[in-house]
Structure 1
Amino acid sequence: MKLLKTIAVTLAGICLLGIGCTGQNQGDETTQVQLKQSGSNIRVPHNERLHLSTDQKWIEQEGHQSDLIRLQWTAERAKPAIVWMDEKGKDKTAIISHDKANNPEQRDHKHISFETTMSPTGEYPNQLFTRFEIPFDTDVSEIRTHSSNFNVMSGILRVAGESGTNRDMQFSVAGEDNETTARWAIRADSSEESGDNSGADLQFVRYADDGEVVDSPLTVQRSSGHVGIGTNDPDTKLDVNGDKLRIREKYTPASSTDACSQGQMAWDEEYVYVCVTENKWKRTEISTW
């Protein structure tokens, strides 16, 4: 039979399982609470709460006096967690931080993760699954999501950076151990912002199989709105750095007054057609040589 006893404690200046604790009521007075110990668990009575507060800074030399809750692993594959359960006592969500994976053959996890259960009718019913993870022990943290969609509702998804730096949204192919290799990027480039709406031009960047940049096949200038295909410095509304343009489908206007908008072009086996003004076509004959 599990050991069950009631402990009366004053939660003021008392260390409970290595945690500094205070109990307070609405009048900010120290209260008495009855804690129940059952086996290795210590339980706060139903609908009561622990109120932890501090006026200390996070200073390593002083022992981090502001860390009111400490969760420590004491074995390399331990997983200290904070878990939320439903009314039947089944785990539903968890926050976990740990170093090693359960399986010694897997890579070291070294992350804090936010986990929720899989579908109760799916392949892995009710299993906790990592949805969001932030690695530690790294200068640049590769934050990841798994089996999750990211929605911005009535807000902004923003990629920010200092002037003179590339700001990328990248599309990559996944490899082993969460490694990724870039294939495409949408980029606000590092061109200088010198006023007059110049700099930070929009580019579509393509990458080779090894993840190295090949080129920027499409550029839109922020200052002018000029579009460059194969050039990063377009000087007209459409600037094509190439020796051919292609209109795949042929079209023959029914007459010179057939419906059209100024600037439209078309071709067939005999003529090239240009709409010079609304509903007015002109044509020039083409021939072999």
Structure 2
Amino acid sequence: MRRKIPNTTALICFEAAARHESFTKAAHELALTQGAVCRQIGGLEAFLNVELFRRSHRGVKLTEAGLSYSRQVAAQLDAVERDTLSVMRQQGASVIELAVVPTFGTQWLLPRLKDFQQLHPEVTVNLTNRTRPFLFADTTFDAAIYFGDGDWSGTQSHRLMGENPMPVCSPVLLEGQDALDAKQISRLPLLQQTTRPYAWRQWFDSQGITVDRDMTGPRYELFSMLSQAAMHEMGIALIPPFLIQRELEEGRLVIANTQALSSTRAYYLMIPDRKVESASLRAFRDWLVRQAHRYAATHEGLTPP
């Protein structure tokens, strides 16, 4: 079946004219004549049977339909350009498109990726933030690192490490004490993590106390946001120490109580079944699992076995 897609040249002319709101400037940018741009856009309007610009002696203005369509066209042209440049860059090299939970990606994975690059210079790893599971078939991702139970349909899971979050805060909130007990913590503002809404309730339960306000307090989606809020004395947060090593070493955050929240959930590398034979993914999987096990072995108490 023939696709209902306009001429690419017409779309490029339209995107440039919409961005400048000027046929003349679009023509200059594209090294075309103004008449050629006018003809391309006129043909596009005829194809769509929609008026995209209002013409007047003062120039052109996008219609509501034109404004909406220009945003969609610009996004799609950008995507085609990215994909084209990616193919041009590869020249036989392997590329892994990896979805990764943000703070784990920036705080733990990125500082170690140089080692993988040195071992496998022929493989490029691109990182994109994703905080929740998705359907691999609907994306261009080759693999994902996520936090959960490892149950992801159509994939093979490889456990990396647990979280083992502990209560952390600004040293100011300790008021000269070395640590805080559970009751003292319960009286502080509790900073909540959006994707772990029951974390504080579970932590207080493990300490044998019930706190009415254990699910109240400002919510933040990322651990990096939680750590910033805690550093600015906005409250106390449950954060895995391995995600805030620098902040702990510099004294901007302190562990207020060494009792960690145990969980059966962990960070996993998820590889879709259709990708498990990929040589580059196998190399990345083996390297990543070794890195995680090495880290766990040398940081006993910060990550569970």
**Fold-level match, TM-score > 0.5?**
no
Q: Which has the higher contact order (CA 8 A, sep 6+)?
A: 2
Q: Which has the larger radius of gyration?
A: 1
Which TM-score applies when normalising by structure 1? 0.24
Higher fraction of helix: 2
Which TM-score applies when normalising by structure 2? 0.23
